Amino acid sequence: AQSVTQLGSHVSVSEGALVLLRCNYSSSVPPYLFWYVQYPNQGLQLLLKYTSAATLVKGINGFEAEFKKSETSFHLTKPSAHMSDAAEYFCAVSDLGGNKLVFGAGTILRVKS
């Protein structure tokens, strides 16, 4: 069975500081990994995805993530936080068929001015 663990339910950074949101996964098959963002009272928006190509994946809004097989990690980073980045972020892994996404519990990012 696949699973995702997001370390830290809440992360707080200052505007302009580095954003690091942690995600570790468990999968018995090569995983497909995703980061989604959810703004208050909205659905999920895809930030980026890893589908076995380049291990460093660049997404929208300046975010990127690095797939590290040896560490079973897919941490999300952004060099400089902006107030508009405040939201909840979800890491997800999908099965081989891509039919089912398994999500972590989410990390709420707070950006301080």
Partner 1 sequence: DAGVTQSPTHLIKTRGQQVTLRCSPKSGHDTVSWYQQALGQGPQFIFQYYEEEERQRGNFPDRFSGHQFPNYSSELNVNALLLGDSALYLCASRPGQNMKTQYFGPGTRLLVL
Q: Which residues bind partner 1 (CB under 8 A)?
A: 4, 32, 34, 36, 42-46, 49, 51, 90, 92, 94, 97-106
CB-nearer residue toward partner 1: 73 or 94: 94
DSSP 14-34: ETTS-EEEEEEEE-SS--EEE
CB-nearer residue toward partner 1: 32 or 63: 32
Write the CA distances from 8 to 19, 56, 90, 99, integer angstroms: 13, 22, 12, 27
What minimum distance in Å lies between the beta carbon of 49 and partner 1? 6
What minimum distance in Å lies between the beta carbon of 2 and partner 1? 11
CB-nearer residue toward partner 1: 14 or 52: 52
Residues 73, 4: Cα–Cα separation, whole Å: 9
Backbone φ, ψ for residue 40 (5° rounding): -50, 130
What minimum distance in Å lies between the beta carbon of 74 and partner 1? 14
CB-nearer residue toward partner 1: 86 or 102: 102
Residues 91, 22: Cα–Cα separation, whole Å: 9
